[in-house]
Structure 1
Amino acid sequence: MPVISSSSTILVTGGTGFIGAWVITVLLQRGNTVKAIVRSEAKGVALKRSLFQDKRNEGKEALLDVVVIEDLTKDRAFDATIIGVDGILHLASPLSIDATSEPEEIIGSAVNLTLAVLKSALWKPQF
């Protein structure tokens, strides 16, 4: 198993969340290239704005690649994005909780998203 070094490219799902944004900040500070998955162009713009107003990320813009995948649970949604990455940090979870949400729906969505990431990781061509 290869070692993840500071020159590695890491795919991060859930980068627009609180924990995900902190993880991306740490990776950028280490010198990692980060592919951050977002669900819309607007979320990508907001993520970049948030990350690069932080002085710790100054000069690290070239290390961040924001990739839009609107439907994260779509079969093979991550296949193209996963090419060239050395590691995956899966932090995303679909979350739309309201008073009528059933636990099975919430858990099922999270499981389907995780399976989509894992299927793409398993598929990843070895170069």
Structure 2
Amino acid sequence: MFGAAGIRIAWGLMLALAALAVGCMILGSDRMQQADAAFRDAWIKHQTTYLLADELRQSSDDLTRLARIHVPTGDAAREAQDMAILAIRNRLRHRRTIPGPWRDFHRHRGARPRNAAGSGNGDRGQG
């Protein structure tokens, strides 16, 4: 019906279509990897922004709380805490390197909390 020439043409077309399909799969895979990397970068930026906004909210809450305590009492330790938080927010001091809010600044009588390992030196990072 087709003859030898027709069969060769049919095999050639199938081979060309298969090569085109493989090329499209390779290109699609590359595009998917690029999209996945862009999504991961966006997710990391989103999480970082969320954590920074939460720290800013917490420091604002801390400043408000400490100011409400300092004004009626005139406690100098509370004023020092306010100034420490403001120095961090104004980039005059380094922010702590561990995640979490700034609420565990100096507590009663200026004592610093123990670190997570419990070594007792009270140093929880910079700041």
Could you say which TM-score interval applies, normalised by the shorter chain? under 0.3
Question: Where is the helix percentage greater, Structure 1 or Structure 2?
Answer: 2
TM-score (norm 2): 0.25
- Which structure has the larger Rg? 2
TM-score (norm 1): 0.25
